Amino acid sequence: MPLIGVIVLLAIFAVNVGLGSTSNSAFLNDVGEMLLLTSVAVLFVIAILKKEADAKK
């Protein structure tokens, strides 16, 4: 489940960057991008820790 969240949030970030570079109409500001990437990192760490816990079982 956390990996699905990572994929969705990275897709949102990619769309935002694409819109910002092509038509200068990005919908997230700098703080929004920072919070988005921070949440991606947190979800990715959660997913990795869950995979390691499952591997130890």
CA distances from residue 12 to 25, 40, 45, 56 in whole angstroms, order as listed = 14, 11, 19, 33
Q: How confident is residue 15, by pLDDT bands cut at 50, 70 and 90?
A: very high
Write down the pTM of the prediction.
Answer: 0.83
Q: For 52, phi and psi rounded to 5 degrees?
A: -65, -40
| 30-53: pLDDT as tens digits | 999 999 999 999 999 999 999 999
The rounded distance, in Å, linking the Cα atoms of 7 and 1 is 10
pLDDT at 25 over 90: no
